[in-house]
Structures are given as C-alpha cells and as structure tokens.
Structure 1
Amino acid sequence: MLPTGIVGLEAQLWVFLVAMIRPGAAFLAAPVFGAQNVPIQVRLIISLAVGIPAISQVPFDLPPDGIATVAGFTLVAGEVVTGLALGFAVQLGYAAAMMAGEVIGNSMGLGFAQMVDPQSGASSTALGQFLSILGTFLFLAMNGHLALIQVIVDSYRSLPPGHAWMGQGQIQDILMFGGDMFAAGMAIALPVGFALILVQVVMAMLARSAPAMNLFSVGMPATILAGVILLAVAAPAIGEGISTSIERGLDLARSLVTAKGG
C-alpha cells in the first residue's frame, strides 16, 4: 500500500518508481506505444498513470533494506520481464502485418524501395510500411491500446510485484506463438503473392516465346500494376487477417497473466 505523510515521502517515491516499471516495459515492447516517434515523456506519464492505480489494488511493501539489495533487484527484474512479455506478445501479433508487406513487396519487385519504419526505426519496404500503418489503424480501431492497458492492470492481481515471474510454460507459449505469427504473415500475403508468382511465370513464358521483347521494360510495370490491383481486391481479407493476428496477440497476453508458472 502507498505510504502517507512527509515521513513516508521517500518510500512513496520508490513505490511510484516500481509502479512505472511493468507498464513502462510493456509499452516499450508493444506496438504504437513503443514507436520511436512517441516521446519518452509521454510513455513515462502513461506508465505512471497506469501503474499507480494498478499497484494500489494489491498488497505491496518495499524490500526492508531498500531497492539496492538482492530482493530489490529481484523485484525490479521480475517487473521488467513481465512487462516485456506482455508487450512482446502483442508485438508478435502486430508483426504479421509487417512480414506480409515484406513478402508482397518483394514479389512485386519493390524490395529496392526502402523506407524507415517509425515503429522500429529500421528500414523496410514501402509496402511493408503501408501494411504497418494499416495495422496501427486497426490496432487503435479495435481498442487494442485499451485492451493492453487492461491486461497490464489485471496482471497485478495474478502476478503481484515480487512474485511476477514467467514460468516455463508461459515462455514456451510466447516462442510457439512467434512461429504461428510467421505462418500468419505468410497466409496474409498468400493470395496476392501467389497471384504475382503466376504473373511472373506468364512474363517468363512471353520472354521465351518472344526473345526480342524487352522483358525489363514490360515485366516490371505489369507486375507492379497487377500487384496494386490484387491489393485492392484482397484488401478486406488482408485487413481481416491483420486484425485476427493482433487479437491473437492480445489473447496471448491475457493468457500469460492467468496461466500458472511452469
């Protein structure tokens, strides 16, 4: 519980610091919150606004000898690991959109068009950037940011500070979910990617039947045009696939705070 009075001011500040660790770590690893263009001050304010009410709902006392002890370091490490696991679970679901964009962009021949991803700061294809922005819109439209905050608040009941450690089963769930999201990204890109492969096969057949034709001047525009048309046709299916992947990431985060440690 929160200490009161002038005497407990230092202890209260330490409680505030501990309360910010788990939400801060989750927001650092989660999509949207963890974007590089989000100021660090905004993350700190949101972490404090989420952490103080959350830690107030469970019995909590600082280590008797302070934070700079073995018990204190264990407490901080558990908070960091739990927060990162919750945010990373949602990030894995969000990453399916980026992977689908990379696959489709390379199939369209746009792999050379690189842009800086505002989420991670790394370079990605233009189409991967487009699907990443689409995933951000869908994440916010389905109230994924509010669902993540709710998961963080609920985690304090099942994993109170000082006892917040991921079990072997929970870590295995995260690893297996990463493989599932790899398959989900491929499934999202499959309709457009497979059709583009057929277009490239047709262009190869034309190049064999008409060797005098300049394949590079015809094949690249035809592939890009076919890709744009296919993206417009498959947009509902792509949006549904991205939404499903994000929802599965949120479901995994909820299961992490309710599952028993292994």
Structure 2
Amino acid sequence: MLGFGLSIEPQLWALIFVMVRIGAAFVAAPVFGAVSLPVIVRVSLSGAIGVLVLAAHPVVPPPTVFAVTTFIAIAAEALVGFAMGFILQTAFAAPLIASELIGGSMGIGFASSIDPQNGRSSPALGQFMSIMLTLLFLSVDGHLVLVDMLVKSYDALPPGAAWMGPDRLKAIAFFGGYAFLAGLLLALPVGFLLLCLNIVVGMMSRAAPSLNLFSVGLPASLAVGVIALAIGFPAMGDYMLVIIREALGAAQTIVLG
C-alpha cells in the first residue's frame, strides 16, 4: 500500500521513479527530444535504461506516492535530467547562431523550412549544419555517453539528495554564453570573407555611385559564401566535434562533479 489505498508493485514503483530522471533528460536532450521521435519509443528507452539502473544501483523510492516529500523527490529527479539534456541542447544551438550570421551576410536568411528536430521553422543553412552536428554527435557515440552519464549520476546525485546547488545552476546559465561563442567561431571563416567582400563593394559604391550594387553585390555575396562554405566546411566540422566534446564535458562536470 503506497498511500490512499493505492497498491503498486514495489519494483514497478521503483522503475517509474527511476524513469523520471531518464525521461526528463530525453525530453530536453537533442536527438532523443526530437519531435519526430515517437513518445512510445522515448518511454520504452527510459524503461529499458531504468531496468539497467535498478540492476546497478539500489534505488529506494519514496514509500508513499501521494505525499509532499514524494513530489519534491520527483521534482529533484526531473531537475537533474533536465539539466543534463539542456546543456547538450544549448550546444546544439551554436549552428543556428552561425547560420543566422552567415545567411544574413549571404542574402539567404529568408530561406527557411521546418526543422525536424524541434518542429519549428529555421534557416535552411542552419538545418544543414544542425543535421551535420547531429550526425557527428552520433558518430562519436554521444548518445551512449549521455546514457552512461545518466547511469553514473545515481552515484553522484542519488535519489533523495539530488538537488543541484546554486553553483551548478550558475554553471548551467553561464554555459549558455558558450553557445554564442561557438556560433561566432563557427561562422568566423565564412563571415570574415563576406565582411571583406562587403567592404570591397562599399568601396566600389563610393568610387562609382552609378553602379547598381544590388545586381553586383548580392550575386557576389552568394557566390563567395557558397565557395567559402565548401572550402571551410572541413574545418567547421572539426570545430563541431569540439562543441560536442565541450557539451559532454560540461554535462559531466555539472552533474558528476
């Protein structure tokens, strides 16, 4: 009996309690939190990992379901899961920031479509870079690292003592600044060339005021941007790996210490 006449198998209640942290991480994390991923798949993965957690850690759930302490414990578990997923999701915003900077300079900022990750409209260039970042994330087994951190988090932050301190919450907030820094560095090679092109076009407009800049500047910006992306994308891909490592390292530092 777990309160108010509710009778639940203790093992099932322990599994549901463990799935709160795992499910919260999957909701906030990239790849797992995509709107295209069915909810039943997400719940099934949470349950499968929850079984592994129960086999590796002696998790003791609250004895009563309908109690204030139980609701507080569930909120603490969800906070830890959301923190781990949110850090990774913040890092995945860097390609969108870079695409805004590059697309605005190239003149293709108006080209947008539905992003399969979040179901919202985003720049087409940003979708391309986000897909590449997702593929790199999967290629370096980032999803497995996330699952491993979830399992290890029950040692560092066991249920009942899972509240994250102000220092860790502050670190999460400051990590948001890294997304802007990473987006700027990701767009720097192409953005610098487009800036030089705009300076040249500006000098031409001063030297020949009768020149139609729209017929010259826009095609030139588009051509230079495409060529710069083709040349600089290998280096951008290498920096995307750095972004992934930084995000996984920040999640491990904040949650595991």
With the length of structure 1 as denominator, give the TM-score of the two structures.
Answer: 0.91
Counterpart-to-counterpart distance in 1, 2:78 and 2:8: 24
Residue 39 of structure 1 is matched in structure 2 by: 38
Give CA deviations for 1:117-163 in whole Å, capped at 9, x if unaligned. 22222222111111111111111111111111111111011111222
Please state how far the C-alpha of 1:9 moved relative to its aligned partner.
Answer: 5.5
Bigger mean CA deviation after superposition, 224-233 or 108-117? 108-117
Counterpart-to-counterpart distance in 2, 1:60 and 1:71: 16
Counterpart-to-counterpart distance in 2, 1:57 and 1:163: 18
Counterpart-to-counterpart distance in 1, 2:222 and 2:62: 61
**Is 1:22–1:82's contact at 8 Å kept on the other side of the alignment?**
yes
Residue 3 of structure 1 is matched in structure 2 by: none
Please state how far the C-alpha of 1:195 moved relative to its aligned partner.
Answer: 1.0
**Is 1:20–1:52's contact at 8 Å kept on the other side of the alignment?**
no
Residue 137 of structure 1 is matched in structure 2 by: 135
Residue 205 of structure 2 is matched in structure 1 by: 207
Counterpart-to-counterpart distance in 1, 2:34 and 2:104: 24
Residue 29 of structure 2 is matched in structure 1 by: 30
Counterpart-to-counterpart distance in 2, 1:95 and 1:220: 27
Unaligned runs of 5+ in 1: 1-7
Aligned pair 1:21/2:15, yes or no?
A: no
Please state how far the C-alpha of 1:116 moved relative to its aligned partner.
Answer: 1.7
Identity value in percent = 47
**Is 1:22–1:51's contact at 8 Å kept on the other side of the alignment?**
no
Counterpart-to-counterpart distance in 2, 1:73 and 1:177: 29
Residue 101 of structure 2 is matched in structure 1 by: 103
Secondary structure at the residue paired with 1:13?
helix
With the length of structure 2 as denominator, give the TM-score of the two structures.
Answer: 0.92
What are the equivalent positions in structure 2 for 1:91-170 lying under 5 Å apart? 91-170=89-168
**Is 1:55–1:156's contact at 8 Å kept on the other side of the alignment?**
no
Unaligned runs of 5+ in 2: 1-6
Residue 256 of structure 2 is matched in structure 1 by: 258
Please state how far the C-alpha of 1:224 moved relative to its aligned partner.
Answer: 0.7
Counterpart-to-counterpart distance in 1, 2:28 and 2:62: 27
| Letter aligned with residue 183 of structure 1 | L
**Is 1:109–1:223's contact at 8 Å kept on the other side of the alignment?**
yes
Q: Number of matched residues? A: 251
- Report runs of 4+ in structure 1 exceeding 4 Å deviation: none
Please state how far the C-alpha of 1:61 moved relative to its aligned partner.
Answer: 2.4
